[in-house]
Structure formats: structure tokens, C-alpha cells
Amino acid sequence: MNTAAKSRKLVVVLACAISGSAFADVNINTLPGATTPTSGWIGTAESFYAPAGNDALLSWQFALDGRSSPGDVTFSIVPWSPSGPSGAPLYTTTIAWGTSPISPVVSGINVLLTSGQLYAAEIDLQGYTGSSVYYGSSGPYLGGEGYWTMGYSEWSGYSYLFQGFDADFACSVPTGVPSAVPEPTTLIPGALLLLPFGSAAFRQFRKKFRAT
């Protein structure tokens, strides 16, 4: 493992130790309440916040109705604002979409997010306007809302609607998986103030960590 990779891993280990939730995963599941398929739109999105202390998004599942002929959808995790995307995608993949209803599980996302920042799972239907992503109303998840678009330059958000999803979050991404985290120098000084065993013990920990 190179020095940069060790530094990234060290920062994640410290963050989990400080939060006290190194093994605490969070699951948010609204799929059971999403019973109506979208129709007449070419793109959808569900906004969300990363749970505090569990900022790593590991997987995301959603539900699609069968389409008239086989095609694809593009799934992305993007920074979000109340009016639509606010930055470049953090993760993107293409999913095959057939004529039967499916509930694809997008695993291995492994993106480290920021607590308190708004994100969205965006689904590009690639021009298809038939029956597609399942949604519901008055959903159990109050941290986001459903969005729909007909042209990607403008999104319509509905606070009383949600697009069904089942998402897994964790304190850190799996060991050995690169993630977008701040430079170590921006986190380690603050971590030293919070760690109960002080800077001397931390130096011993860091020396041992570098030797692995």
C-alpha cells in the first residue's frame, strides 16, 4: 500500500474512532411505499442527506416498471441543490432495463459523502417517457424529496413525493477501496484534539500503522 493510500485509510480509521460508530451501519428503505410508476418524464432523482457518522454510501436499490422494449438507464450519485444538480456526478453506472419490472441493486458505490450536504440519486431514462421509476407519497423518509425532469436543464421537486429506494450507509468505505476524502492535513489536527488517548498514543498508533 502506498503512502497516499495509507493516509486515506488512516483518516477514515480516525473518523470512525472519533464518531464511535466504526461498525454501525445505517439502512434507509422506502421501497415498500413506492407503488406508482413514473410516466411522462425522461429523468428522475431522489434527494437525501448522508446520515451523521455514517457518511459512506455503499449501495442503492430502486424499482423500475418494465418498459415497452429493452433499453438502459444511467444511475448517478450527484451533489444536489433544491433546484437540481450542484456539481459533477460522484458515481455513475449504466443498468440494463428490460420489459419486466426490476429492482436493481447498485452495489459497490463506496462513495464517502459529507454530513449535512444534500445529494441525490439521479436516474437518466435516456429519453424514454413510458412507465419507469416507482414512487410514493407522504413517504417515511423526511430527509429528501422526489424530482422529475423533461430536459435536465430544469427539475421539478415535490416535497410530498418520494422515489422508492433502499440504501446502505456505513462509517467508512470498505478497506482498500479508494474514496474522495479531504487531505489528511485537514483532518488529523482536529482528530488529535478529540482522541481520548492524546497525541503521544496517537504517534505510536501512526508509527505502527505506517509499518503495516
Task: Give tens-digit pLDDT for 160-202.
Answer: 999 999 999 999 887 655 544 333 333 334 433 333 444 444 3
- With cut-offs at 50, 70 and 90, classify the pLDDT of residue 142: confident
Helix, strand, coil: what percent of the chain each, to 5? 20, 35, 45
Residue 75, burial from CB neighbour count under 10 angstroms (0-12, 13-18, 19+): buried
Q: How far apart are CA 126 and CA 204, in angstroms?
A: 53
- Per-residue cell: 198: 492524546
* Residues 6 or more apart whose Cβ sits within 8 Å of residue 97: 64, 67, 70, 71, 72, 73
Average pLDDT over residues 10-21: 44
- Per-residue cell: 178: 479508494
**The predicted structure's pLDDT at residue 20:** 45
135 pLDDT above the threshold of 70 = yes
Average pLDDT over residues 137-157: 88
3-state secondary structure of 141: coil
**The predicted structure's pLDDT at residue 92:** 98
212 pLDDT above the threshold of 50 = no
41-65 pLDDT, tens per residue? 999 999 999 998 899 999 999 999 9
Domain 25-170 sits in which CATH superfamily?
PHR domain (2.60.120.820)
Q: How far apart are CA 62 and CA 166, in angstroms?
A: 7
> What are the distances in angstroms from CA 180 to CA 17, 52, 127?
19, 17, 31
**The predicted structure's pLDDT at residue 8:** 36
For the chain, the structural domain boundaries read: 1-23+175-212, 25-170
Stronger pLDDT, 74 or 183, i.e. the higher one: 74
> What are the distances in angstroms from CA 144 to CA 44, 45, 105?
13, 10, 20
80 pLDDT above the threshold of 90 = yes
